A = this chain, B = another copy of it.
Amino acid sequence: MPRVLSKEEVEDFREKLTEAATRLFAERGQDGFTLRELASEVGVSPMTPYRYFKDKDEILAAVRARAFDRFAEKLENAFGKKGTPVDRANAAAQAYVEFALQETASYRLIFDIWQPNENDYPDLVRAGIRARATMIQHIPGLLEAGVLQGDPVLIGHVFWSALHGAVMLRLAGKLSPDCDFQKIIDETMRALSVGFAAGR
């Protein structure tokens, strides 16, 4: 009987391909990223990836899931540092912005790509839920510390979307040249903190 790929071999190849795809996608951008170049990059013929992935979309989903996870890790690390709840929340916010600016391609993969059938990719769904939880997790500490008050899920989403909006406009080059990006971030965080402050 012929050689049969073990579960492990399949997983290894998927891993290798996803890694190369992540790099290629960052280099070439959404449009310039082709299966043919990806295949040659890992040293196989253009059709070989089809043994391991259904199509290009599924490869993209794997790349996205991986990006989600790296993002969540970075935020969890920042949040895991010692300090007051406020310090830790600030560290998480800073890590968020850093990731977006330094790993722009991955950030876009995470939040700015609309795959028609996202729910068909379980890994992607899982990674997405994890990343969202990560972004909300630092709020309860602020409530318990008596810094903020309100619904933590709602507050988390407000902070998150404000951060996301500033980052996206920055990445799209839409901000006015005479308006400093970091100042927008700082003032957004300050104003929202005042708006949700406890005891008013």
Lowest 5 A-B CB distances belong to which pairs? A165-B165, A191-B195, A161-B165, A164-B165, A161-B166
Give the number of copies in the complex: 2
9 A/B residue pairs, CB under 8 Å, sorted by A: A118-B173, A158-B184, A161-B166, A161-B169, A162-B165, A162-B166, A190-B195, A191-B195, A195-B195
- Least Cβ distance of A77 to chain B in Å? 22
- Residue in B closest to A108 when the chains form the complex, CB atoms: B114
Distance, CA A132 to CA B132, complexed state (A): 30
Please give the number of chain A residues whose Cβ is less than 8 angstroms from any Cβ of chain B in the complex: 43
Collect the chain B residues with CB atoms within 8 Å of residue A168's CB: 111-112, 161, 164-165, 168
Query: Is A157 within 8 A of B173, CB to CB?
Result: no
Quick one: which of A142-200 are within 8 Å of B by CB? 150, 153-155, 157-158, 160-169, 171-176, 178-179, 183-184, 187-188, 190-196
Flag whether A49 is at the interface (Cβ < 8 A): no
Query: Is A176 within 8 A of B112, CB to CB?
Result: no
